Chains A and B, each alone.
Chain A
Amino acid sequence: MFKPLDAVLHSELRLAIISLLVGVKQADFGFLKEKTSSTSGNLSVQLQKLSHAGYIAIEKSFKGNYPLTTCKITEEGMLAFENYVKAIRSYIETGER
């Protein structure tokens, strides 16, 4: 029986964001934008979707006169990511048999 894939994570950009956040304590908007090669608009939308799902925590502050957005993965996000990886592995392993 295949485990269903988490629709929130099964998107190229959202999966890339979560995978990056797994490896760091926190990341700012600029870092995520650079590493995912995404546009600011698209990144903002996907961050909001992940935040609404409870997978990431977004903190908005100011750096001088400029807004600063920092993100970190939540425990719920970490669990969802682990389940997603397990599900993907089971699909691939079944396909290889």
Chain B
Amino acid sequence: MNEKTLTHDESLQIIQRMILTAKNRITENGFHFILWGILIIIASLAEYFIQKSDLGIQANLSWIVMPLIGVPTALVYEFRRNRTDHTRGFVDTWYKYLWLGFGITLVVTIAISVLQHMSPIPFILALVGFATFVSGTIYKSVPLIIGGIIFWISGLLCLLVPPPEQLLINAAATLTGYIIPGILLWKNSKRESHV
């Protein structure tokens, strides 16, 4: 861009173009959806097979191991990412608070359902559906919006099957609601970074 006398229309065009550029800045690259998606599927299937095989291992062990792997990996990834990208959009802040609020609600929901001797999976799926759907609308990602709807439907489907089979629904919902949109977002972000 050079220094030149601007016409009024040119001024307006610059403003519109630049505001749109900042607004459409996509920062979600799908990493966390892929990471947590893989961990949730492994944990769901592990608990299912432990329950079915009667190995004598504590069945919910996989859910204790999952955050021990996921949380440090996610934090290290974000730390490294923040070191290279110092531009922050307003949307990025809201997005962080959305998932922080989701995480806190998730812990509270699991605690309530366990204390009430209820399976937490339908509640978790409904909650994940909410956060995924809103994320999809924020970043205008149709796969994430569809993923959110799949989580909601899966939450309702859980009411039709016993708790062990709910784990299989959870794994299938995570594959379609997290992994597939995550991979599409990852591919999209790589393509954009090479333009």
Q: Tell me which of B11, B21, B92 contacts A35 (CB under 8 A).
A: B21
B15 touches A92 (CB 8 A): no
* Minimum CB–CB distance for A94 against chain B, Å: 10
A12 to B17, CA, bound (A): 12
Q: Tell me which of B8, B22, B92 contacts A92 (CB under 8 A).
A: B8
B1 touches A23 (CB 8 A): no
Q: Tell me which of B1, B2, B87 contacts A27 (CB under 8 A).
A: B87
Q: Size band of the A side of the interface?
A: 20 to 34
Closest to B90 in A: A25
B22 touches A11 (CB 8 A): no
By a CB distance below 8 angstroms, the chain B residues around A92 are 8-9, 12
Q: Size band of the B side of the interface?
A: 20 to 34
Q: Is B6 an interface residue (CB 8 A)?
A: yes
A42 to B4, CA, bound (A): 13
Interface residues of A in 1-50 (CB under 8 A from B): 10-13, 15-16, 19-28, 31, 35-38, 42
Q: Tell me whether A25 and B88 are in contact in the complex, defined as CB-CB below 8 angstroms, given that A11-B3, A63-B83, A95-B8 are known contacts.
A: yes
Instruction: Give a binary string over B62-90; 1 marks a CB under 8 Å from any A CB, 0 the rest.
Output: 00000000000000000000010111111
By a CB distance below 8 angstroms, the chain B residues around A26 are 86-88
Q: Tell me which of B17, B25, B86 contacts A28 (CB under 8 A).
A: B86
* Minimum CB–CB distance for B48 against chain A, Å: 43
B22 touches A15 (CB 8 A): no
A68 to B83, CA, bound (A): 11
By a CB distance below 8 angstroms, the chain A residues around B92 are 25
Instruction: Give a binary string over B1-34; 1 marks a CB under 8 Å from any A CB, 0 the rest.
Output: 1111010111110110111011101000000000
Q: Tell me whether A23 and B8 are in contact in the complex, defined as CB-CB below 8 angstroms, given that A12-B3, A35-B18, A68-B86 are known contacts.
A: no
A68 to B19, CA, bound (A): 23
Which residues of A are in contact with B by a Cβ distance under 8 Å?
Answer: 10-13, 15-16, 19-28, 31, 35-38, 42, 63, 68, 70, 84-85, 88-89, 91-92, 95
Which residues of B are in contact with A by a Cβ distance under 8 Å?
Answer: 1-4, 6, 8-12, 14-15, 17-19, 21-23, 25, 83, 85-90, 92-93
